[in-house]
Structure 1
Amino acid sequence: MPALSIHTLGYVTALLPLLTTHLCWGLSILLGYIEPCNPYGVDCVSISNTGRHGVAYFLFKAGMLPTTLLLFLFWGLCWQWLALLGQGRHRAWLLVALLGSAALMLYALTLGHSTGYYPVLRRNGIALFLFMTFTLQVVVADGLYRTERWHGAGLGLLWLSTLTLVVALLSVALAAWLGEGYERLENGFEWWLLLLLNLPMLVLARLWQLSGLKMGLRLQE
C-alpha cells in the first residue's frame, strides 16, 4: 500500500466546520431567516440559529456530521504522530476523542428541534465537545513542546490554547457581571471560540505538511 500524505485531511477537518457555519450564516441572511449582522460582534445570532431553517438546516448537518468522523481520525493520527516522535500518550485519550466526536454528532442531530429534551441534549452536546476538543489540543501541544524539532510549535499551540481559555473565562465573567445584558455578547463569544478551537488544527495540519508526514500501514516521515 503506497504511503499517502495526510495534511489534506487535517486541513479539511479544520476548515469544514468553519466553512459550514459561515455558509449557513450567509444563506440564512440571504433567505431572510436572520437579520444581517457581524457574527463576531454584538447583537448577532448564535451558530445554532444559522442552521435551523430552510436549506441551511440540511447544509449544517451535511457539513457537521462528516466532521465528527474526521475529528476522530484527526486525533487518532495526532496520537500516532506523537508516538512516532517519542512522545506517545495513553490510548485512553482516544476515548476522549471518541466522546468529543459523539458529542458533536449529538449537537448536530438535535439542532432544529426545540421540543422535549432536544434543547438540553444540544446544549450538553456542544459543551462536552468544546471541553473535549480543548483538552485534546492541550495534550497534543504539550507532546510537541517536549520534542526538540517541534518545541517552538508546541509552545505556540500552548499559548493559543491559553488564549482560548482566557476568552472562555472572560465570557463566564461577563455573564456573571452583566446578567441579562450579556445576551448581546454571548453569540459573538460563541463564534470566537469556534474559530479559536479550529486554529490549532490548521496549525497541526501545516506541521504535518512541513514534516512530510504520510500514512501507509503506519505513519512515517
Structure 2
Amino acid sequence: MCAPKPATHRLYPLGLLIALLPLFTIHLCLLLSFSENKLEWCNPYWLDCHSISATGRHGLAYFVFKGGMLTAMVLLALFWWINQWWLNNQTTKASVLIGWLGSLASLALVIYTLSLGHDGNIPYLLRRIGVISYLGLTFICQLLLSASLQRKAATQVQGRHLLMLSTLILVLALISLALDAALGAQYKRLENAIEWGLILLINLHALFIVAVWRKVDLRVTLRHQ
C-alpha cells in the first residue's frame, strides 16, 4: 500500500486573518459603541475623537473587544513563530529573536486587554505597560524581519519597502513625542488620532509581510504518521 502524500497548505490565508483581525475588532467595537450611544460619533483618525481603549469599555463592545483581541494575540504569537521558522530555513541569524519577542508583544497586549474596563491605578498602569511594550516589541520584530528579507535576493525589494514602512512608523512615534512635549495639554486633541494611525500602520506592515508569504508561496506540510 502506498503511503499517503503529505498535505501542503498555503499560509497566506492564515496570515490575512492575523493581520486583519485586530483592525476589524477595534473598528467594529467603535461602531458598536456609536450605535449603542456609548460614544459620540467622530472620526478616530482626526482631532478630538476617542482612544482605542474607549471602544471596548462599555456594552456589547466590551465583550467583542476582549474576545477579538485575545484571539488576535494568540494568532499574532503564532505569526511571529511562523516568521522565525521561515527565516531559520533561510539561515538568517536575526530570526532567533523574532518568535520570542513576538510572543512577549502578544502577552503585553493580552495584559492590556484583560485590564481594559477596570478602574484604578493598577489597571491603568497595566494598560500603559501593556500597550507600550506591545508597540515597542512589535516594532523591533518588524524591523528585524524587514532587514532579514532585504538581505535576500528573492525578497530584497519587498524587504526595502517594509523597512520604509518601519521608518514611517518610527517617524510618527517620534513626532508624537515631540508634539506631546511642545503642545502640553493641547496634545490631547490629537493623541488618540496618532494612536489609531500607529496601530493602522503596524497592522499594514503585517499585511505586507503576508503579501511576501504569498509571493514566495510559503506553505506548511502536514505529514501522516
Give the TM-score category using the shorter length.
over 0.9
Cα offset for 1:135? Answer: 0.4
SS of corresponding position for 1:216: strand
Based on CA coordinates, which of the two structures has the bigger radius of gyration?
2
1:78 is matched with: 83
Match of 2:3 in 1: none
Report the TM-score when normalising by structure 2.
0.93
Partner of 1:183: 188
Q: Which residue of 1 aligns with 2:113?
A: 108
Does the 8 Å contact 2:73/2:107 carry over to 1?
A: yes
Q: Which amino acid aligns with 2:29?
A: C
The answer on whether the counterparts of 1:138 and 1:158 sit within 8 Å (CA) in structure 2 is yes
SS of structure 2 residue aligned to 1:3? strand
The equivalent residue for 2:177 is 172
Distance in 2 separating the partners of 1:101 and 1:185: 26
1:16 equivalent in alignment to 2:24: no
* AA at the equivalent of 2:181: A
- For each residue in 1:61-119, what CA deviation from the matched residue of structure 2 results, as whole angstroms up to 9, or x when unmatched? 11100111111110111111112233243534422112111101001111101124111
In structure 1, runs of 5+ residues without a counterpart are none
What amino acid sits opposite 2:118 in the alignment? H
Q: Share of identical aligned residues, percent?
A: 44
Give secondary structure in 1 for the equivalent of 2:96: coil
| Alignment check: 8 A CA contact 1:42 1:188 kept | yes
Q: TM-score, normalised by structure 1?
A: 0.95
Structure 2 matches for 1:40-79, cutoff 5 A? 40-79=45-84
Q: Which amino acid aligns with 1:82?
A: L
Structure 2 segments unaligned to the other structure (5+ residues): 1-5
Cα-to-partner distance string for 1:15-51 (whole Å, 9 max, x where unaligned): 0000000001111111101111000000000000000
Count of aligned pairs? 218
Per-residue CA distance 1:176-197 (angstroms, 9 max, x = gap): 0000000000000000000010
Q: Which runs of 4+ in 1 moved over 4 A?
A: none
Q: For 1:180 and 1:23, how far apart are their aligned partners in 2?
A: 29
Matched, 1:31 2:36: yes
CA spacing shift, 1:162–1:105, aligned 2, 3 Å: same
What do you get for the CA RMSD once the two structures are aligned?
1.3
Q: What amino acid is aligned across from residue 7 of structure 2 in structure 1?
A: P
CA–CA separation in structure 1 for the residues paired with 2:59 and 2:124: 19
Instruction: Assess if the C-alpha contact under 8 Å between 2:80 and 2:103 holds in 1.
Output: no
